[in-house]
Amino acid sequence: MRQDIQRILYHESTILSRLDELADALTGDYRGKDLTVIAILNGSFIFMADLLRRVPLPLQVDCWSVSSYHGTKSTGRIAFRQTELADVRGRHVLILDDILDSGITLLNIREHLAANSGTLSLKVCVLLRKKIDRPRLVDADYVGFDIPNEFVVGYGLDYNERYRNLPFIGVLTDEAIRRHDLSPATGAPLKTIIPG
């Protein structure tokens, strides 16, 4: 897998040092409060595990598995794959996600919580935030790293479900992107099958 990475953006040690800082901020802000952390799977599973082990508070954790349809012609909505979501009435909620890109995922999760919740507060913590224009409404309250608008993998982030287990965050080679591309080929020669 390493040979598929053209550039490492953040080594594991750099990520973990930044998580120490994020965890200190969260510990200070949520001390004495009833906190539920909602991690958005699959991308945030490593981030969640490393971050929350650094937060010595009696928090509760729930994992939401959502699928987004962005990049297709669909509405930009997301689907919740679970039927039962945690009861967060009367609790402070912190959403953890791997990366803030267009913000469609977080916008929908926020809307869902606003409609069903009774939460005392709702904040968002992301490991990565891409530098792109997006509505202010979907910005994050806690950010690990601001990154350029590039497609990155590793430390939980995937390309067509690969590379999540890389311990660092990096940029794929063009060759690896082509090799694992699942989109229908365009311009490929059509095979003519002549029966008989």
The binding site for ligand IMP (CB under 6 A) comprises 43, 68, 70, 97-105, 151-153, 157-158
Closest distance of CB 77 from Mg ion, Å? 16
Selecting among 101, 133, 146, 174, the annotated active-site residue is: 101
Is residue 101 part of the annotated active site? The answer reads yes
Residue 152 binds which entry of Mg ion, ligand IMP, none, CB below 5-8 Å type-dependent: ligand IMP
Cα angle 81-86-90, degrees, rounded to a multiple of 5: 145
Give which of ligand IMP, Mg ion, none residue 68 binds (C-beta under 5 to 8 Å, depending on kind): ligand IMP
Q: Please identify, using beta-carbon distances, which residue of 66 and 113 lies nearer to Mg ion.
A: 66
Question: Min. distance of Cβ 130 from Mg ion in angstroms?
Answer: 13
b/e burial code for range 5-35 (CB count within 10 A of at least 16 → b): beebbbebeebeebbeebbeebeebbeeeeb
Q: Dihedral (C-alpha) 84, 87, 93, 99: value to the nearest 10 degrees?
A: 0
193 contacts: CB under 8 Å, gap ≥ 6:
none
Residue whose CB is less far from Mg ion, 50 or 98: 98
Nearer to ligand IMP, 78 or 88 (CB): 78
Binding mask 130-169 vs Mg ion (x if CB under 5 A, - otherwise)?
----------------------------x-----------
Catalytic residues: 101
Interacting residues with Mg ion (CB under 5 A): 158
